[in-house]
Amino acid sequence: MIMDIIISGLIVIGGLFCFAAGLGVLRLPDVFNRMHASTKAATLGSGMILVAVAVQFGESTIIARAIAAILFLLLTAPVAAHLIGRAAFRTGVPMVNDTACEPGVAEALRKPAGQRKPS
């Protein structure tokens, strides 16, 4: 009974985080904010659902697969987000004016790609 409540809670909370990630990708204004929403919330939501699967079945092979999948998500999501952000920066994807960042970076990102100095 208690395990069912814990598993249900993990799945519901994981689903809410995945929903928040999808909503963030849909509603946030620029690629940098969308990238943040998709990597952070989706990784946490997927991890919680995988923990619920591992707790539900309790077999060593399923637990090992769930742990491997969680580690894979934790290793690949930040790298993918960094590469997406770097590609967006280098190709001149503009930021919204309300985005806070270092003083020189904000002005550089708001210029069209052809007017920037190559790095």
pLDDT of 40 above 80:
yes
Instruction: Give domain status of residue 110, yes or no.
Output: no
**Residue 24 near residue 43, CB atoms below 8 Å:** no
Q: Take residue 84 and report the two structure tokens written for it.
A: 């997406």
In a domain, 118, yes or no: no
- Domain that residue 40 falls in: 2-93
> Does residue 35 sit within a domain?
yes
Number of domains the chain contains: 1
Helix axes 60-91, 31-57, angle to 10 degrees: 180
Residue 104, in any domain of the structure = no
Contact by Cβ (8 Å): 66, 50: yes
The three-state secondary structure class of 97 is coil
Residue 94 pLDDT more than 90? no
Q: Name the pTM for this structure.
A: 0.78
Q: Is residue 100 part of a domain?
A: no
Residue 24 lies in a domain: yes
